[in-house]
Amino acid sequence: MVDVCEVFVVKRSGEDIVRRVDRVAIEEPLEVCIDNEPFYTTMRLPGEEVPLALGICFTDGIIASMDDVTGASYCNDASVNKVNLCLSDTRKAGGHPARKRRQLAVYSSCGVCGSDLVADLTKSMPAIEKKTTMGFSDLFLMQKMMVDKQKAHHLTGATHAASLFDGQGGFLAFAEDVGRHNALDKAIGKLFLEGRVREAVIVHLSSRLSYEMVVKAARLGAEIVTGVSTATSLAIETADALGITLIGTLRNPRGNIFTHPDRIL
């Protein structure tokens, strides 16, 4: 497998010492370029670099559909750690967000609080309509499907995963990565390539639920977002404002529904 490697390790348990070969997840950098200009560098699990680059640019608002992209490929130096996206002339003419990726630290250094971030989001992003209801027990079936697909995690315990489903619980996409943000961006990027990004309604995550993860799901138009771990206060505030049903600590048979519980039967 390309996403894991074997290393020698000394395992200790009290006075017991065992030397053995263990498996670890591979972590490498990926540089995303737009029109051959550096845009963002992230650490990721090798593989699916183009979907990851597309997902990052989509959730950052750089592109809205495949019509905004004329090409997505590895750069001329043949490195799999560098992907270049070419924007369409229409997208360039219509204007697009600054090439330099927006970082949360920019807001923090200016003294803007979390509530200000949420207020800005609600001005630029409409609340998500409530079109879907889902049985609570059905969520566990979808979560189990995600867990079963986590091959790298089963071998190493060092990766995160994201799975996307439609409003009937039908499977759409899965991705795994050393970074939880990357896993979600990869899954979104896969649907983006297929032109099916608006079919996604339910997002399952193997991680905690943070503000950034909720924003990515909101850009996707998802109605229900779940996580194996709990949610942060800002994630809850954001999900509530944007009309998303947020469920944390989802572990059969338990789960904490933080916002908009009326979608869950």
| Cβ within 8 Å of residue 171, ≥6 positions away | 142, 145, 163, 164, 165
Catalytic residue among 5, 57, 110, 113: 110
CA 70 and chain centroid, separation: 23
Residue 76: burial class (beta carbons within 10 Å; 0-12, 13-18, 19+): exposed
User: Using a CB cutoff of 8 Å and minimum separation of 24, what contacts does 152-159 make?
Assistant: 152/1, 152/3, 152/4, 152/25, 152/45, 152/176, 153/206, 155/1, 155/4, 155/23, 155/25, 156/4, 156/23, 156/24, 156/25, 158/24, 158/25, 159/3, 159/25, 159/45, 159/183
Beta strands at 28-34 and 202-205: parallel, antiparallel or unpaired: unpaired
Phi first, then psi, for residue 46 (nearest 5°) are -55, 145
Nearest to 5 by CA among 20, 22, 18, 19: 22
Residue 55 and residue 192 in contact, taking contact as beta carbons nearer than 8 Å:
yes
Assess whether 110 carries a catalytic annotation.
yes
The DSSP symbol for 68 reads G
Q: Which residues are identified as catalytic?
A: 110
